Structure 1
Amino acid sequence: MMNDVLMPAKEKATNTRKKFLDENFLLQSKIAQELYHEFAKQMPIIDYHNHLPPEQIAQDVQFQNITQVWLYGDHYKWRAMRTNGVDEAYSTGNKSDYEKFEKWAATVPYTLRNPLYHWTHLELQRYFDVHDLLSGKNAREVYDICTEKLQLPEYSVRNLLRRMNVETVCTTDDPIDSLEHHQQIKQDGFEIKVLPAFRPDKAMNPDNLVALNAYIQKLEAVTDMTIDTYETYLTALKKRHDYFAANGCSVSDHGLDEIYAEDYTEWEIKSIFIKIRSNKSLSHSEILKFKSAMLYQFAIWDHEKGWVQQYHLGALRNNNPRMLRQLGPDTGWDSIGDFSQARALSKFLSKLDATDQLTKTILYNLNPADNELMATMVGNFNDGSVAGKIQFGSGWWFLDQKDGMTKQMNALSNMGLLSRFVGMLTDSRSFLSFPRHEYFRRILCNLFAEDVENGELPNDIEWIGKVVQDISYYNAKNYFNF
């Protein structure tokens, strides 16, 4: 064997180069590998926030091809394709499913260093046992292999969840949703829990009075009530909150620019609601007061039922008015915002805490500049009643990638207790997104292992392995009472 000292530099590099996406992907040491393979890997998945359509689970849908399960509704991929110069017809337009897939496949090689490159190949491996690198050159072959497998019974929606060892999923549902699909899933005896989450964003948004009044009319129909006052509005929404609880819901969620915590009187909110029902325009101050009142009321109801409330903060949505008009929301025109979060968030949580009506709460931050803000804010309201009562949620949306998740966990480690963290969620509309939990767990294990290697943590693999399992699974199971 050639002496290592005399070995050419190029040959040395070849011998030490790691293989892409092998069993030790992202695991940079033997300790990281042990933590992942012996402790994290086998943990079931609790995906406590996603946007999966419950109707498809109820119907146990069989997708006709990989485009349908992979590209429909995936604005992450659409943004990449647009950036790569792909015409909109291949993302949200009327091109055939194969043509859309082919354009995505041709885009993949250009996503190097974007998390999409990792996710794409993880999903091809985990679901379809396809280990080739996707490109325009093998698009037809990969499309045919995956599409053929999707026709098999073991690739139905429910079996896709089983394949990833999923134990519980919480979908995202509007208060006026019937929850009939959740009821059907439960009636079928499906062993994976599919639970609703109460997402009342439309009910508290008076920015568009026409849309809000149309929503109120739908709420009237669902509750068989006339809603002409603020009191009757709350009564109708409380009915829906109770209905969700009766159907297994124990989680609420809000997608907000920022927390609303304006001072207001009950008389002011009653007057504002009359203006809303009369389609009279509101001042900026009135809009903020109405949102603040509604957000507080939802939090009170959540506390009464012992729910977990989630706040997704910091997205600047619908930045491209032309494309919003053309395609509607949630089609890939959103970005990170730079809202001032601290004072309103402190005021909102303080108001609830003052009367001991602050339930378990998760704060998700989209602006990495606010990581330390969030990590310290949660510590202000952890009162010892529940381990990790107030949580700094996992890296979200643009931050659910290696760097974003690492920064979130480092901030939480430095200013809180990472060991009490409830871990990862997909926040996805795709049934092929569950390898993101694996991605997170590998990053988590490597993070701990680096500290052990550096002598910054003791080489106590059993204890650190237990903490890894807690973050991967047990903390969420206990926190949500699943």
Structure 2
Amino acid sequence: MASQQKNPVLSPYRCFDPEPSQREVALQLYSQVRDLPLICPHGHVDPRLLADPEARFGSPAELFVIPDHYILRMLYSQGVPMESLGVPTKDGTAVETDHRKIWQRFADHFYLFRGTPTGLWVQDELQSIFGIHQKLGQENAGAIYDRLVEQLSLPEYSPRALFRRFNIEVLCTTDAATDPLNLHRTIQQDGFPVRPTFRPDAVVNLDTEGWTWNIQRLSDASGIEVVDERTFLEALRQRRQHFKTLGATATDHAAPTAHTGRLGENERGSIFNRALRGQASAEDARRFTGHMLIEFAHMSAEDGLVMQLHIGSERNHNPQVFQRFGRDMGADLPRATEWTRNLRPLLDEVGNDSRLSVVLFTLDESTYSRELAPLAGHYPVLRLGPPWWFFDSVKGMECYLDQVVETAGIHNLAGFNDDTRAFASIPVRHDVWRRVSCNWLAAQVVRGLIDFEDAREMAAQLAYGLAKTTYRFTGGEA
């Protein structure tokens, strides 16, 4: 590979304001939180990466390109076929298998990511993790590919070695309610603090593809034959307890809207029976999910699992992409969300229960100051999750802090989580958050709104403390 540039491609002042006094304060704050351990309470890393001591990441294309829907959606929007990026098809038809060619196509189009968080993350990964200080592009793609292949073959670049290098104090995966969690048991026996998260969407959302098959899997996993709504709830409680034995501290629930509403016993039983017969309507599914969110809130109050709500994604907006490639291919889009009225039935029942903690995530930025901050600034059970998905960017984070802190303060926030499938991006995502939050706090200092000592304590909370307390990690090992 050509000789490395002496100076890094990325500025050491990235994410900081150019105004000298604010930048100086931001640098001082950042220097105190930069090396804090990483708390990763919500993400989508495949536990198979860490279960096998001999596991490797595969090729650079497998690490950076093929599994990353941020990358896929941008390239697809510019006419790059997903087949040419090696994305497997549902029907098994041929796709590109030469990973060097896939990497070259990615590099040829890397200019598309200028000014995006993906561009920042990828270049930071290349620089800080792999020591590659050249800007990725068409001409040096092959040389960078060879360098990555060489490094990925080394023991110090195995998933387990990088886990230790990243200084991860705890990492939580997201796992189906029916998962036996055998991989987590293996990982934990080998001394890695990896915890599961209970994700029941596939058995709760009645319009999920293959729902009846998922219910059979729930029966098998729980040992409780699910034949009606009562046995369904029993099976879910059994699975939650199983997750807790493997260290789970949270659940995760995704829904298009924040609708909650209590259904009567006969009504919810009838809906569930229609679903078992394959006759549930879209309205049945909406109302049943809204009812189950209240049920899960009560369960969380009883068993102590933190409840996460991810609301507002219009899934699989492009039917042709979904039919050919399946889910998580970059075709999910934000939609408007109403929280105040929709959450009220849930909050009327458990909003003041000191045993419960509910973390809210949204894809509708317009609700930050209008609804979410006022809700979290009042109800003891509510915390606000960090900017999610389309908004885990520099401007997205700044917008979030600007709109929620004045009303909710920082102690009604849940800190940060990386929410990624791309394992190698974990530290760089945390680094962006730490830089942005320190820069935001520095602006408050230079404007005289807080003093430096307060900012220093707030920076540590935003980087580390809030996530640890929100998700109920205790002790030296989270």
Whether TM exceeds 0.5 here: the answer is yes
Q: Which residue, out of 65, 85, 105, partners 2:59?
A: 65
Q: C-alpha deviations, 1:414-454, integer Å up to 9, x for none?
A: 21112553322111101111110001100111111122223
Q: 1:358: how far off?
A: 6.2
The answer as to whether partners of 1:80 and 1:107 remain within 8 angstroms in 2 is: no
Q: C-alpha deviations, 1:4-39, integer Å up to 9, x for none?
A: xxxxxxxxxxxxxx98523222223111111111x1
> Which residue in 2 is equivalent to 1:415?
407
Aligned-partner Cα distance in 1 for 2:389–2:377: 23
SS of aligned partner of 1:444 = helix
Q: Quick one: which amino acid aligns to residue 268 of structure 1?
A: E
Query: Does residue 277 of structure 2 align to residue 278 of structure 1?
Result: yes
The answer as to whether partners of 2:51 and 2:183 remain within 8 angstroms in 1 is: yes
Q: Which residue, out of 401, 405, 417, partners 1:425?
A: 417
Aligned-partner Cα distance in 1 for 2:447–2:273: 63
Aligned-partner Cα distance in 1 for 2:289–2:449: 46
> Which residue in 2 is equivalent to 1:3?
none
SS of aligned partner of 2:425 = coil
Query: Does residue 367 of structure 2 align to residue 367 of structure 1?
Result: no
> Which residue in 2 is equivalent to 1:386?
none
> Which residue in 1 is equivalent to 2:457?
466
> Which residue in 2 is equivalent to 1:202?
202
Q: How large is the Cα RMSD of the aligned pairs?
A: 1.8
Q: 1:321: how far off?
A: 0.9
Q: Quick one: which amino acid aligns to residue 205 of structure 2?
A: N
The answer as to whether partners of 1:302 and 1:308 remain within 8 angstroms in 2 is: yes
> Which residue in 2 is equivalent to 1:440?
433
Q: Quick one: which amino acid aligns to residue 330 of structure 1?
A: D
Q: C-alpha deviations, 1:204-256, integer Å up to 9, x for none?
A: 11125x72111111112222332212111111111111111111111011111
Query: Does residue 403 of structure 2 align to residue 403 of structure 1?
Result: no
SS of aligned partner of 1:312 = strand
Query: Does residue 456 of structure 2 align to residue 454 of structure 1?
Result: no
> Which residue in 1 is equivalent to 2:188?
186
Q: 1:268: how far off?
A: 0.9
Q: Kindly, what percent of the aligned residue pairs are identical?
A: 29
**Does the C-alpha gap of structure 1 residues 424 and 308 become closer, same or farther in structure 2, counting only changes over 3 Å?**
same
The answer as to whether partners of 1:27 and 1:443 remain within 8 angstroms in 2 is: yes
The answer as to whether partners of 2:313 and 2:335 remain within 8 angstroms in 1 is: yes
Q: Quick one: which amino acid aligns to residue 149 of structure 2?
A: T
Aligned-partner Cα distance in 1 for 2:303–2:374: 27
For these two proteins, the number of residue pairs brought into alignment is 451
Aligned-partner Cα distance in 2 for 1:451–1:195: 36
Q: C-alpha deviations, 1:153-173, integer Å up to 9, x for none?
A: 011101112222111111000
> Which residue in 1 is equivalent to 2:81?
87
> Which residue in 1 is equivalent to 2:26?
32
The answer as to whether partners of 1:128 and 1:146 remain within 8 angstroms in 2 is: yes
Aligned-partner Cα distance in 1 for 2:461–2:311: 26
**Does the C-alpha gap of structure 1 residues 322 and 32 become closer, same or farther in structure 2, counting only changes over 3 Å?**
same
Aligned-partner Cα distance in 2 for 1:235–1:250: 20
Q: Quick one: which amino acid aligns to residue 33 of structure 1?
A: L
Aligned-partner Cα distance in 2 for 1:63–1:457: 45
The answer as to whether partners of 1:299 and 1:358 remain within 8 angstroms in 2 is: no
SS of aligned partner of 1:433 = helix
Aligned-partner Cα distance in 1 for 2:321–2:112: 24
Aligned-partner Cα distance in 2 for 1:283–1:205: 10
Q: 1:309: how far off?
A: 0.8
Q: Quick one: which amino acid aligns to residue 259 of structure 1?
A: A
Bigger Rg, which one: 1
> Which residue in 2 is equivalent to 1:13?
none
> Which residue in 1 is equivalent to 2:92?
none
Structure-2-length-normalised TM-score: 0.90
Aligned-partner Cα distance in 2 for 1:358–1:293: 20
Q: Quick one: which amino acid aligns to residue 220 of structure 1?
A: S
The answer as to whether partners of 1:182 and 1:194 remain within 8 angstroms in 2 is: yes
> Which residue in 2 is equivalent to 1:7?
none
Aligned-partner Cα distance in 2 for 1:177–1:305: 19
Query: Structure 1: where are the runs of 5+ without partners?
Result: 1-17, 383-388
> Which residue in 2 is equivalent to 1:114?
116
**Does the C-alpha gap of structure 1 residues 19 and 73 become closer, same or farther in structure 2, counting only changes over 3 Å?**
closer
> Counterparts of 1:1-20 in structure 2 under 5 Å?
none
> Which residue in 1 is equivalent to 2:3?
none
Q: 1:259: how far off?
A: 2.0
> Counterparts of 1:295-444 in structure 2 under 5 Å?
295-353=293-351, 356=353, 359-372=356-369, 373-382=371-380, 389-419=381-411, 421-434=413-426, 435-444=428-437
Aligned-partner Cα distance in 1 for 2:348–2:159: 43
Query: Structure 2: where are the runs of 5+ without partners?
Result: 1-6, 18-22, 89-94, 474-478
SS of aligned partner of 1:395 = coil
Structure-1-length-normalised TM-score: 0.90
Aligned-partner Cα distance in 1 for 2:354–2:323: 41
Aligned-partner Cα distance in 2 for 1:121–1:288: 42
SS of aligned partner of 2:169 = strand
The answer as to whether partners of 2:104 and 2:141 remain within 8 angstroms in 1 is: yes
The answer as to whether partners of 1:419 and 1:467 remain within 8 angstroms in 2 is: no
Aligned-partner Cα distance in 2 for 1:231–1:114: 48
Aligned-partner Cα distance in 2 for 1:68–1:391: 35
Aligned-partner Cα distance in 1 for 2:383–2:337: 20
